[in-house]
Amino acid sequence: MSMKKLLVTLSLIVSFVSGSVFAAPSLIPTPPQLSASSYILMDAYTGDILVEHNADQALPPASLTKLMTAYIVEYELARGNLSLEDKVSVSEKAWRMEGSRMFIREGTQVKLEDLMRGIIIQSGNDASVAAAEYVAGSESAFADLMNQHAQLLGMENTHFVNATGFPAEDHYSSAHDLAKLARATILHFPENYAMYSEKEFTYNNIRQPNRNKLLWRDKTVDGLKTGHTDAAGYCLAASAVRNGTRLITVVMGTKSDTARAVESQKLLDYGFRYYETRKLYSRGQVVNNARVWGGSQSNVKVGFSEDVLVTMPRQQGDSIQTTLDMQKEIVAPIAVGDVLGKIVVGSGENILLERPVVALEAVEEGGFFKRMFDKIKLFFMNLF
């Protein structure tokens, strides 16, 4: 559901204060217009899009490509296929890479952890190629892996041909897709995310600062990655967290290093000022004790397998209508996790979200007489 529909819904839902005074809806101004080719503002926890402009347009991503390079390394680390202590041999191809570099030397071995910092902080093309060759054997094979991961993440307007973002035909992505990738990086691999907030990295006695100026300007910003080529302009994927709400911005095609930071800051400030992430229900929270027919027990605890989060305008959470819609007949046996109904947030045509409610406990079949007795009761209940 769009944020516009969300606002309409919340404005129409009325709650009473002191029995007689109506609660006023939050008024939200038009989002800022940025000097950029494409941009998006997303809630990291819910995936809801708060602001977008040309967000699905395929554009050259420049070094924002390296978000996928780092993501694949983190994916392999999580699966136990790699270790940050691994020593990676530097090929001639990696050493000869032009553009931004970590300054690794051909024929040496570099710790994978150092390469990760070289990719994330220094935006090293040499580090990216070295990591790609280590993971997949060659950069072209790694690019194929990148496209497979892009498909799994639902990146519909993306195609990679290299690990660096170096200008190449048929190498493109979109602000929306890169926001999906940033979200996956944050949520899937939090143990490595601290690297994205580091302000500098020294390798081979060369100290280089992180090009993300927001890390210095806004203490709530903790990532993610910059990019620049003549074709792409100046790009920035950023994330910040304030009071339990985490937002992601992707801004593409600005005019300067300063502009990408300034425009990203506008989106972040707008989002945090007018929206928040609200947890409606917790994982494992019991919302119903549902009647069970033909079971070893007569009721089953029903709740959620995951936290239920929603993005909403600030100070509107208490006025949102929620409805629990359970199956009419719940018959044993029941396994933990079986879907028994759904929770609906909103009303009518303005539904904000729906989430399944599941069995939080197992219920085995009852004995023969219990099952027969319940069938008879159900039969007569359905007659009336």
Q: Which of 38, 66, 100, 213 is catalytic?
A: 66
Handedness of CA 82, 203, 226, 92 (dihedral sign): negative
Q: DSSP 3-state helix, strand, coil percentages of the chain (rounded to 5)?
A: 35, 30, 35
Compute the distance between CA of residue 112 and CA of residue 264 in angstroms, rounded to an integer.
31
Compute the distance between CA of residue 132 and CA of residue 347 in angstroms, rounded to an integer.
49
Q: Which of 63, 100, 128, 264 is catalytic?
A: 63
Q: Please say whether the beta carbons of 323 and 344 come within 8 A.
A: yes
- Average pLDDT over the chain, rounded to whole? 90
* 3-class DSSP state of 226: strand
Q: Quick one: pLDDT band at residue 318, thresholds 50, 70, 90?
A: low
Judge whether 93 counts as a catalytic residue: no
Question: Alpha carbon 159 to chain centroid distance?
Answer: 20
DSSP state of 231: T
Q: Quick one: pLDDT band at residue 319, thresholds 50, 70, 90?
A: low
User: What would the mean pLDDT of 163-174 be, rounded to a whole number?
Assistant: 97
Can you list the alpha helix ranges (DSSP code H) found in the chain? 3-12, 66-78, 92-95, 112-120, 125-136, 139-152, 175-188, 214-217, 257-274, 368-383
Q: Which of 100, 123, 128, 174 is catalytic?
A: 123
Q: Answer with the residue of higher pLDDT: 279 or 132.
A: 132
Compute the distance between CA of residue 231 and CA of residue 30 in angstroms, rounded to an integer.
30
List of residues 6+ apart from 302 with CB closer than 8 A? 286, 287, 288, 289, 290, 326, 340, 341, 357, 358, 359, 360
Compute the distance between CA of residue 342 and CA of residue 306 in angstroms, rounded to an integer.
13
Judge whether 298 counts as a catalytic residue: no
Res 383: pLDDT: 66
Q: Quick one: pLDDT band at residue 313, thresholds 50, 70, 90?
A: confident
Instruction: Kindly report, residue by residue over 173-209, the tens digit of the pLDDT.
Output: 999 999 999 999 999 999 999 999 999 999 999 999 9
Judge whether 18 counts as a catalytic residue: no
Query: Which region among 8-17, 44-53, 346-355 has the lowest average model confidence (pLDDT)?
Result: 8-17
Instruction: Kindly report, residue by residue over 206-221, the tens digit of the pLDDT.
Output: 999 999 999 999 999 9
15: pLDDT strictly greater than 80: no
List of residues 6+ apart from 4 with CB closer than 8 A? none
Res 21: pLDDT: 35
Beta bridge partners of 38: 252
User: What would the mean pLDDT of 84-99 be, rounded to a whole number?
Assistant: 97
Compute the distance between CA of residue 131 and CA of residue 146 in angstroms, rounded to an integer.
13
Compute the distance between CA of residue 72 and CA of residue 128 in angstroms, rounded to an integer.
11
Question: Measured between alpha carbons, how far apart are the two ends of the chain, in Å?
Answer: 39
Beta bridge partners of 228: 234
Res 366: pLDDT: 80
Q: What percent of the chain has pLDDT over 70?
A: 91
- Give the phi and the psi of residue 305 in degrees, each rounded to 5: -85, -20
